[in-house]
Amino acid sequence: MIKQYPAEKKWTLLLLILSFCSFSCENRNPDAVAQAKKLYGKKIKFPKEYLSVATNEGTTSINTELAKPLKIVTYLDKNSCSECALKILKHWEELLQELSDYSIGFVPVVYPNDITDLKETLQVLQIDFPLFYDKENKFLKINKLEKTLARNRSFLLSADNKIIVIGEPLASGELWQVYKNSMKRLNE
């Protein structure tokens, strides 16, 4: 029996598949595409025990970001150095400037080795948004994402926290366009 999807879901799923096909050869991994298909529509939960880390006192809290109707979530763990992970967040900050017309929450979930190193690097790079510091790595556990490939640990979530776009758009302008088109459509 063929699974039927509503028209909006079909369109988003088609964009998702096309975005994976437009990646470089190294990213045309059938397992990554199959994994992304399984994640599509999954409801994401956020642990109640976390620390919101920010360097600027005027920065909004992570709760403000979590309350927004659409959210971009990206997960960075201790497998990458704090400085490398935060440079990725700096790149995200540049992309997010394109979204000033929308009410989009940005929830970077970080599971680093050392919070002191994290705070120092935040100050050096002047990151101006809060981080969801997940000191016990509960985010992956409660969402059963431990075996999810790193490239599939960035999502656009709907108002009910369901995944509607999957993938790390930093290296793919085409995937970033899928994110932006989906946000535009959902904000209308």
Q: Please provide the DSSP assignment of the chain as one string.
A: -PPP--HHHHHHHHHHHHHHHTS-GGG--HHHHHHHHHHTTPBP---SS-EEE-SSTTSPPHHHHHHSSEEEEEEEETTS-HHHHHHHHHHHHHHHGGGTTS-EEEEEEEE-S-HHHHHHHHHHHT--S-EEE-TT-HHHHHTT-TTS-GGGSEEEE-TTSBEEEES-GGG-HHHHHHHHHHHHHHH-
Domains and CATH numbers, the chain: 7-187 (3.40.30.10)
User: pTM, whole model, 2 decimals?
Assistant: 0.77
Give the model confidence (pLDDT) of 125-136 as tens digits.
777 778 888 888
Give the model confidence (pLDDT) of 23-82 as tens digits.
433 445 666 677 778 888 999 999 887 777 776 665 667 888 888 889 999 988 766 665
Structure tokens that stand for 37 in this block: 């298909």
Q: Lowest mean pLDDT: which of 23-32, 38-47, 151-160, 172-181? A: 23-32
Give the pLDDT band (50/70/90) at residue 115.
confident
Average of per-residue pLDDT values in the chain: 76
